[in-house]
């Protein structure tokens, strides 16, 4: 059986499973559409949460970032997993005890303000929409490579599948579909990693293989990797920049990822689906376990993929001649078709010179070898998807990777789209536009909102604006600077009133968005759809990816200053906050 047919069968079987689950778990009420009827077991919810969180960025991109960035990329692993610790300890049980369906609903009720609820809706939609573009784009990449269709066709297929199980099932359908998607993606991620770890180190456990000896030379794998990348002018794989500015940025970036994770609405709403308050805490714990299975494997996948690439280009060692372009392996040929690998013969010798041309210290050595610039460009996003081909694994493993990549992209896309549609139907239509809408009418509005959100996400995936296509810093920055502080102050401080909450969120939102656009140099050109790099700048050298933590600090400061300068929080709201925090009755579900 050829590879294309095998890919089609495995991916088709996974899609049939998702649609079958959607039909079985079709939502019949708003409670089932928004919160799966609050009947999801914490282990199942933890698995669904893991699938919801482990997006195309985690499955497809993260190992590539780790492979090419090395030690600094560990901030992603620490920040994203640390966010779940914050969720488990500080947010999940209290939000579940409050008993609402959406994040903006909690903020609106806690701060007794429709304005606060509206600001929360705006923040949610901006963050979720920015994030979902990457998921739809990731689905298009996976489709284009493995099913041999265009990116556009892949996006349409992915949107149709999400439409089937998200519009029909809402949170109920999405939850059980995500359980299946987690199983698919974790199997798809770990099996190739096990094969590759065995090939390179003889150890079947990738996290341990990372610290084992590299079989061909007998030296530690990481030592071997450091040696070959440095010989090609790259920085040490395990090295770090110890300058104060670099350390500050890494700390702020890690913190931004942590509180951004804890503030992302599509993750938070998962904890509204369990029967009891205690189950919300258990769900977060199980989610951390299931996420750890991938995140402990990720550094090994990245390091081994980087070493495999170097060994492919320099089969006789980096001091010898690289391979001829005409003799390149099939995996390079396959990925060249997608445009994610590019080769340019700059010195006309017909060989693939792969090195760090940006390193001035290596320029003399490169010139001595007749090299006139790096000739191979490899997109970070292909490494996990290409790993089975690089390591020459069986065809069924390649098909499994295709199914896993699509599962990762579609599971997170569905969660984000549900957060958007719930905000529109429940927090705008039900709360403001038509408060007297019937449950049947609200359920219809939720399904229509979901369909519209899918259509918009598909269009943005086809025509991504520059700022969204280039970074997810905007999504994490907004969640970190607006939603997380509002939730924390709403739960743990009776002093913060509606004015303080609104002022804090607006400050965090405006500061973060403006800073990212200034730092990246994105300015809209009137009369076009283009953003042009006209100016770059930074505050104290802080990177745009790390600014969410600063926005959060400003949110807290402004909220407390405004709250102290305006009318105090009403007594009934103070009593509400206290009732959410006290243990009494914590084992019983709070009615909506």
* Per-residue pLDDT at 213: 94
Give the integer Cα–Cα distance in Å for 136 and 154: 9
Residue 425 vs residue 530, higher pLDDT: 425
* Per-residue pLDDT at 584: 53
Give the integer Cα–Cα distance in Å for 6 and 589: 47
Instruction: Judge contact between 222 and 303, C-beta under 8 A.
Output: yes
Closest CA to 52 of 298, 384, 474, 414: 414
Confidence category of residue 483, pLDDT binned at 50, 70, 90: very high
Instruction: Judge contact between 167 and 422, C-beta under 8 A.
Output: no
Q: Is 191 helix (H, G, I), strand (E, B) or coil?
A: helix
* Per-residue pLDDT at 472: 66
pLDDT digits (tens, 9 = 90+) for 192-210: 899 899 999 999 999 999 9
* Per-residue pLDDT at 256: 92
Highest mean pLDDT among 42-46, 390-394, 515-519: 42-46
pLDDT digits (tens, 9 = 90+) for 389-401: 877 788 888 888 8
Phi/psi of residue 27, nearest 5 degrees: -75, 135
* Per-residue pLDDT at 538: 61
Average pLDDT over every residue of 447-455: 88
* Per-residue pLDDT at 21: 84
Q: To the nearest 10°, the Cα dihedral for 455, 445, 268, 139?
A: -20
Instruction: Judge contact between 252 and 549, C-beta under 8 A.
Output: yes
* Per-residue pLDDT at 590: 46
Q: Is residue 385 part of a domain?
A: no
* Per-residue pLDDT at 73: 87
Average pLDDT over every residue of 184-191: 89
Query: Does 486 score more than 70 pLDDT?
Result: yes
Give the integer Cα–Cα distance in Å for 387 and 385: 6
Average pLDDT over every residue of 422-450: 87
Highest mean pLDDT among 63-67, 204-208, 446-450, 581-585: 204-208
Instruction: Judge contact between 421 and 442, C-beta under 8 A.
Output: no
> How many domains does the chain fold into?
1
pLDDT digits (tens, 9 = 90+) for 534-544: 444 566 778 88
Residue 487 vs residue 55, higher pLDDT: 487
∠ at Cα 37 (34, 39), nearest 5°? Answer: 130
Q: Is residue 336 part of a domain?
A: no
pLDDT digits (tens, 9 = 90+) for 52-70: 877 777 777 788 888 888 8
Q: Is residue 180 part of a domain?
A: yes
* Per-residue pLDDT at 513: 87
Give the integer Cα–Cα distance in Å for 464 and 450: 20
pLDDT digits (tens, 9 = 90+) for 361-370: 888 899 999 9
Give the integer Cα–Cα distance in Å for 213 and 233: 23
Kindly state the percentage of the chain with pLDDT values over 90.
Answer: 30
* Per-residue pLDDT at 408: 79
Q: H or E element: which one contains 523?
A: strand 522-524
Q: Is residue 485 part of a domain?
A: yes
* Per-residue pLDDT at 533: 41
Residue 455 vs residue 141, higher pLDDT: 455
Q: Is residue 79 part of a domain?
A: yes
pLDDT digits (tens, 9 = 90+) for 85-95: 888 888 888 88
Half-sphere exposure of 221 (CA within 13 A, CB side): 28
- pTM to 2 decimal places: 0.83
Look over the chain and give the mean of its residue pLDDT values, rounded to a whole number. 85
Average pLDDT over every residue of 216-233: 92
* Per-residue pLDDT at 198: 93
Domain that holds residue 157: 3-304+392-581
* Per-residue pLDDT at 264: 84
Give the integer Cα–Cα distance in Å for 364 and 336: 30
pLDDT digits (tens, 9 = 90+) for 303-316: 998 998 899 999 99
Average pLDDT over every residue of 461-481: 71
Give the integer Cα–Cα distance in Å for 502 and 248: 29
Domain CATH code at residue 89: 1.20.1730.10
Q: Is residue 317 part of a domain?
A: no
* Per-residue pLDDT at 586: 44
Q: What does 524-550 look like in DSSP terms, one character per residue? A: E-TTSS-EEE-----STT--GGGHHHH
* Per-residue pLDDT at 524: 47
Query: Does 548 score more than 50 pLDDT?
Result: yes
pLDDT digits (tens, 9 = 90+) for 145-154: 667 777 788 8
Confidence category of residue 532, pLDDT binned at 50, 70, 90: very low
Q: To the nearest 10°, the Cα dihedral for 557, 563, 566, 570?
A: 180
Give the integer Cα–Cα distance in Å for 47 and 176: 9
């Amino acid at each position: 059986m050829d590879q294309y047919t095998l890919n089609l069968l495995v991916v088709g079987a996974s899609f049939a499973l998702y649609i079958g689950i959607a039909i079985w778990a079709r939502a019949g009420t708003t409670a089932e559409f928004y919160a799966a009827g609050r009947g999801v077991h914490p282990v199942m919810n933890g698995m669904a949460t893991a699938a919801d969180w482990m997006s195309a960025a985690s499955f497809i991109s993260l190992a590539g970032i780790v492979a090419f960035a090395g030690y600094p990329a560990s901030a992603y692993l620490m920040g994203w997993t640390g966010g779940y610790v914050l969720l488990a300890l500080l947010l999940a049980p209290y939000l579940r005890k409050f008993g609402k369906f959406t994040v903006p609903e909690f903020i609106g009720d806690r701060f007794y303000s429709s304005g606060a609820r509206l600001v929360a809706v705006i923040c949610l939609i901006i963050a979720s929409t920015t994030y979902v573009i990457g998921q739809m784009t990731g689905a298009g990449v996976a489709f284009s490579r493995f099913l041999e269709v265009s990116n556009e066709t892949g996006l349409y297929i992915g949107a149709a599948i999400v439409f089937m199980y998200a519009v029909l099932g809402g949170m109920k359908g999405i939850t059980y579909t995500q359980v299946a998607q987690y199983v698919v993606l974790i199997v798809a991620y770990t099996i190739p990693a096990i094969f590759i770890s065995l090939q390179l180190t003889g150890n079947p456990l990738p996290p341990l293989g990372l610290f084992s000896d590299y079989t061909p030379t007998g030296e530690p794998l990481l030592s071997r990797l450091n040696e070959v990348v440095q010989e090609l002018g790259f920085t040490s794989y395990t090295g770090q920049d110890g300058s104060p500015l670099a350390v500050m940025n890494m700390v702020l970036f890690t913190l931004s990822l942590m509180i951004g994770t804890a503030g992302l609405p599509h993750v938070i709403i998962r904890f509204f689906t369990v029967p009891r308050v205690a189950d919300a805490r258990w769900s977060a714990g199980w989610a951390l376990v299931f996420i750890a299975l991938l995140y402990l494997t990720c550094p090994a996948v990245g390091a081994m993929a980087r070493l495999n690439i170097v060994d492919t280009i320099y089969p006789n060692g980096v001091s010898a001649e690289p391979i001829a372009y005409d003799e390149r392996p099939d995996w390079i040929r396959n990925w060249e078709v997608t445009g994610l690998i590019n080769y340019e013969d700059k010195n006309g010798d017909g060989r693939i010179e792969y090195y760090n041309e940006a390193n001035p210290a290596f320029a003399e050595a490169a010139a001595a070898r007749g090299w006139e610039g790096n000739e191979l460009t490899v997109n970070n996003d292909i490494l996990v998807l290409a790993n089975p081909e690089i390591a020459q694994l069986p065809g069924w493993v390649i098909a499994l990777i295709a199914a896993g990549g699509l599962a990762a992209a579609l599971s997170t896309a569905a969660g984000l789209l549900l957060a958007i549609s719930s905000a529109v139907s429940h927090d705008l239509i039900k709360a403001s536009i038509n408060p007297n809408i019937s449950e049947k009418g609200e359920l219809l509005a939720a399904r229509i909102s979901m369909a519209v959100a899918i259509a918009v996400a598909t269009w943005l995936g086809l025509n991504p604006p520059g700022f969204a296509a280039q970074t997810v810093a905007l999504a994490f920055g907004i969640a970190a600077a607006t939603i997380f502080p509002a939730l924390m102050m709403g739960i743990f401080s009776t002093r913060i009133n509606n004015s303080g909450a609104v002022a804090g969120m607006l400050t965090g939102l405006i500061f973060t968005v403006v800073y990212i656009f200034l730092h990246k140099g994105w300015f809209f050109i009137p009369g076009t759809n283009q953003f042009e790099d006209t100016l770059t700048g930074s505050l104290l050298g802080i990177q745009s990816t790390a600014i969410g933590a600063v926005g959060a600090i400003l949110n807290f400061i402004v909220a407390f200053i405004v709250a102290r300068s305006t009318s105090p929080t009403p007594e009934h709201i103070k009593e509400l906050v206290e009732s959410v925090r006290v243990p009494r009755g914590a084992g019983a579900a709070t009615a909506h």
